[in-house]
């Protein structure tokens, strides 16, 4: 078993021991023997913008304020000019109310709501693509040595995924340092929590990398671009539309990052290939998987 890494350098790290996030369940294995399994909890969280109910998301229940803020910002319902007066979480009612100084244009946006291919809640609005027309991400370079260092540390960080599975993780990084590691039953929820944290803390996205355990879909690329983050990386693969949008907005898109291997399908000119591959442990390829 790989040795767990020190999480003291994280600003926010997963807490796989938190009592509210998992539950012990008794079942049987393939032989019929009794087994105890750790499973992730799901609970609803209803998000309000001022007096309007927006959505009920299924979530693990941690960082509800960040999730609400990030969801509204990433859906285009909170513009950068909006003044946020307060974010109120009621644990008993399982609600978060985000209050702004003035009314927003959310009524119009609600009419354009659609369902997307994401896990759990994956709602997206028709005008998110319109919002990309003005997005041009900073021409930020990234060192491959940093990518390998991030993957090594993140994949060994104690997490709900390693403890129970059935969950996605997303990590905000700077250089070779993971900063904020969020998990949830839906990868979009994990991204929204990071967006909410960045909004709350006033964190600049220009020199950041977003690492996700999930697929590099169009919605993941759109959310990353709207957050202003110039690099998105994952152990998983791509969708064609995700690649197309990444090239459109100038996002460096790196997938299948496992061991020494990765594939960059957008922004390869921004990679600084400074890693010594002889020092990077490789992972065996799965049977039947073609190279590359």
Say how far apart CA 47 and CA 74 lie, in whole Å. Answer: 14
Give 152 or 134, the one with higher predicted confidence: 152
Say how far apart CA 289 and CA 94 lie, in whole Å. Answer: 44
pLDDT at 186: 87
pLDDT band at 253 (very low <50, low <70, confident <90, very high): very high
Place of tokens 């600003």: 11
pLDDT at 127: 54
Predicted model pTM: 0.88
pLDDT per residue over 156-201, tens digit each?
999 988 887 778 999 999 999 999 999 999 889 999 999 999 999 9
Which residues have a Cβ under 8 Å from the Cβ of 94 and sit 6 or more positions away?
A: 43, 44, 45, 46
pLDDT at 119: 41
Say how far apart CA 285 and CA 288 lie, in whole Å. Answer: 8
pLDDT at 106: 66
| Domains located in the chain, CATH noted | 43-132 (3.10.20.10), 142-279 (3.40.140.10)
pLDDT at 108: 53
Tokens describing residue 86: 């307060």
pLDDT per residue over 91-122, tens digit each?
999 999 999 988 776 655 564 554 443 443 44
Mean pLDDT of the chain: 87
Say how far apart CA 226 and CA 239 lie, in whole Å. Answer: 18
pLDDT per residue over 58-74, tens digit each?
999 999 999 999 999 98
For residue 155, how many other CB atoms are within 10 A of its CB?
19
Say how far apart CA 191 and CA 170 lie, in whole Å. Answer: 6
Cβ–Cβ under 8 Å, residues 190 and 168: yes
Say how far apart CA 258 and CA 285 lie, in whole Å. Answer: 9
């Amino acid at each position: 078993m790989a040795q767990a890494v020190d999480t003291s350098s994280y600003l926010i790290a997963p807490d796989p021991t938190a009592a509210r996030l998992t539950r012990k369940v008794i079942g049987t294995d393939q032989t019929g023997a009794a087994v105890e399994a750790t499973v992730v909890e799901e609970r609803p969280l209803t998000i309000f913008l001022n007096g309007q109910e927006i959505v009920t998301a299924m979530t693990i229940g941690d960082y509800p304020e960040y999730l609400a803020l990030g969801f509204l910002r990433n859906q285009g319902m909170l513009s950068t000019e909006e003044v946020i007066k307060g974010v109120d979480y009621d644990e008993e009612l399982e609600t978060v109310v985000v209050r702004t100084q003035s009314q927003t244009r959310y009524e119009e946006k609600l009419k354009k709501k659609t369902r997307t291919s994401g896990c759990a809640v994956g709602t997206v609005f028709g005008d998110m693509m319109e919002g990309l027309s003005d997005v041009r991400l900073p021409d930020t370079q990234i060192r491959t040595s940093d990518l390998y260092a991030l993957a090594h540390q993140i994949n060994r960080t104690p997490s709900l995924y390693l403890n129970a599975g059935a969950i996605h993780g997303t990590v905000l990084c700077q250089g070779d340092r993971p900063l904020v590691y969020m998990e949830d039953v839906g990868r979009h929820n994990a991204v929204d929590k990071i967006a909410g944290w960045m909004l709350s803390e006033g964190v600049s996205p220009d020199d950041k990398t977003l690492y996700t355990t999930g697929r590099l879909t169009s919605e993941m690329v759109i959310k990353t671009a709207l957050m202003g983050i110039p690099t998105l990386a994952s152990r998983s693969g791509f969708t064609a539309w995700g690649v197309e949008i990444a090239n459109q907005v100038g996002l460096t898109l790196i997938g299948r990052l496992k061991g020494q291997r990765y594939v960059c399908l957008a922004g390869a000119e921004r990679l600084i290939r400074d890693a010594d591959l002889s020092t990077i442990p490789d992972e065996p390829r799965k049977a039947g998987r073609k190279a590359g």
